[in-house]
Structure 1
Amino acid sequence: MASFPLPTNLVESVAEDDSPERKVWVERLPEIVGRLAERWSLDVGAPFQPGGQVSWVAPARDGAGRDLVLKVGWTHEEGRDEAEGLRVWAGHGAVQVFEVHVDGPTTALLLERCEPGTTCKSALAEPEQDEVVAGLLRRLWREPPAGHPFRPLVRMCDWWADEFSDDLADEPDALDPGLARAGVELFRGLPREDVPQRLLVTDLHAENVLAAQREPWLIIDPKPYVGDPAYDVLQHMLNCRDRLVADPRGLARRMADLAGLDRERVQLWLFARAVQESVNLPWLRPVVPRLAPR
């Protein structure tokens, strides 16, 4: 194990995790990666650094000389349908998936490699990132196919709302009770409203958008759900901390306009999500009252 390279973020995440199963899984990664390399006839390089928290991801080349990416992930609830989402998008605005192998706690994907692979976050200023992210989302939102496996957004929102209530019980002074109640009610209620349902990315931000040759920008690491498109611009805004703190309503209006969404609905979603994140992200607490519905 000492000679097998691990991404820094994966190491730190596992160290903080109480799951003995996940620690065993990391210890088995050399064997798992070796078997996948044999299965798909791959030459596999060192993993990308610092990497993600739940996956071992590295450049690879197959017998035909294709430059690919091998993603070996600990199967987790949020990312369960990544491969199915990529199949639906079929390379339009997203990386292509060529092979999938699920074995117990391991989900392995063989993906298109983006070259040069520069992140949108490192290549562009934030206002330009807004345009790229919104443009990609408008292409990716589509009606889910018949018989699709994707979960409704309401399931994720209910799950996160329950976690918020537990966290707030441990830190009851984190937020004004009225704002907390209004925000979590919206977070549960908005995904239940009768709006057009689309296949969502749910975790799209500029670090998950890479420069490529086949298209200028391609998304990676989607966490697909089906629901309200107005939800899908939230993660990008949360990653634009300085602008969000300076003018939360202005940023919400900008992203709504760029993505072709209703301004008021995006602001409501941003208020609800800011409340939901506020216990674990204290910098959001001053933002919450400025987004509260008027």
Structure 2
Amino acid sequence: MAFEPPQRLVRALGELPEEARDTQWLGHLPELTEEALHRRQVVAQRVQAPGGRSSLVLLVRYADGTPAALKLAPPGARPDRELAALAHWGGFGAVRVLDSRHHETDGALLLERLHPEVSLRSLPDAKALLEACGTLRRLWVEPPPGHPFETVAERTARQGEALRTAPAEVRALADSALAVRAELTALPGEQLLLHGNFRQGKVLAGERAPWLTVGPDPLVGERAYDLARLVRDRLEDQMATSAGAAGARRRVHRLADSLEVDRDRLRGWTVFRAVESGVRALAAGRRGDAELLLEFAAWL
């Protein structure tokens, strides 16, 4: 199957720090894809577009017509951790792994086919948040013994390095986010398996269950960290309302209460994650995204 890697993937990989870019993987992606298809004896139907920012997803089928999805990600994205999380969830609240026999060879994942064009973002926001919370409840379980996942403290310490060198224009917000992170990680807390990148667009319609999550960037830690990304979902819509900062705080309280998460910890992680994403967007030249994220963090 001849194809060009989706431009969204190419742009996203290009925004990574030079030492983190896997240009060799991207350059060989057509050949890697053909080899992965051949190993699993599946036939490509089409590339899922616009696709993700860290992987290529092909809609495929077995010889008997059974649909599936083949996902390829660069080694730096740690697809081994994604496989470990999906295997541990066993299809409960998440997409199911159909075949992992060749994963160590090429890092690809053969997954059940969901409906990529129908995510929770297709629902009104209130209904989408309700379904999202129900999905998160299923994912928050004890991690497997000897798991390969990093912790919230480890991931945010690494992310904090970029905040310490943030430009002067966002220095005050970056310092506030670092202080919040230090307070939140001062004492050991919950150690649950988290999705790591959970938002409405990561929950797709399925056949065996109405909604199933995809694309985890798994780690271990407290629920408030996982819920924080959901708080800023549909950010442009939130920013366009007249509710302003009061509306953002109400959203934090509503989500915290619905999942019995501490309000202050959810607010703190929401601030940290928004500032970290905003500084990263600024470094990548996405000033519009950065301004939205940083203004939202300032509201909280």
Settle same-fold status: TM greater than 0.5: yes
Q: Which residue number in structure 1 is paired with residue 181 of structure 2?
A: 187
> After superposition, where does 1:8-47 map in structure 2 within 5 Å?
8-16=7-15, 18=18, 22-47=22-47
Q: 2: CA distance between counterparts of 1:31 and 1:88?
A: 30
Q: Match of 1:91?
A: 91
CA distance in 2 between partners of 1:277 and 1:43 (Å): 37
Q: Deviations over 1:139-179 (max 9, x none)?
A: 1101112222221111110011111112x1xx212243xx5
1:172 maps to 2:164: no
Q: Distance in 2 between matches of 1:194 and 1:11?
A: 38
State the match for 1:69 in structure 2. Answer: 69
**Counterpart Cα distance in 2 of 1:45 and 1:235:** 32
Does the 8 A contact of 2:206 with 2:212 survive in 1?
Answer: yes
Structure 2: distance between partners of 1:204 and 1:67:
25
Question: Partner of 2:197 in structure 1?
Answer: 203
When the two chains are superposed, the root-mean-square deviation of aligned CA atoms in Å is 2.4
Percent of residue pairs bearing the same amino acid type:
30
8 Å Cα contact 1:164-1:277 kept in structure 2 = no
- The count of corresponding residues between Structure 1 and Structure 2 is 283
Displacement after TM superposition at 1:216 (Å):
0.5
- Residue 243 of structure 1 corresponds to 238
Query: Could you tell me how far 1:77 is from its partner in structure 2?
Result: 4.4
Q: CA deviation at 1:5?
A: 3.6
The equivalent residue for 1:124 is 123
Distance 1:112 1:175, change over 3 A: same
Structure showing greater relative contact order (alpha-carbon pairs closer than 8 Å, 6 or more residues apart): 1
Partner of 2:59: 59
Cα offset, 1:80, TM superposition: 4.9
Shift of 1:78: 6.2
Residue-by-residue CA offset, 1:40-77 (whole Å, 9 max, x unaligned): 11111221111112222111112343210000111224
SS in 2 for 1:253: helix
TM-score (norm 2): 0.85
Per-residue deviation at 1:288? 3.5
Counterpart AA for 2:260 = G
Deviations 1:179-222 (A, max 9, x none): 54332122244134232211000101111110111000000000
- Separation (CA, whole Å) in 2 of partners of 1:290 and 1:227: 25
AA aligned to 1:75 is: P
Instruction: Note if 1:287 corresponds to 2:296.
Output: yes
Distance of 2:48 and 2:275 partners within structure 1: 33
Amino acid at match of 1:172: A
Contact 1:160 1:276 in 2 (8 A): yes
The normalised TM-score by structure 1 is 0.87
- Tell me if the contact between 2:119 and 2:203 (Cα under 8 Å) persists in the aligned partners: yes
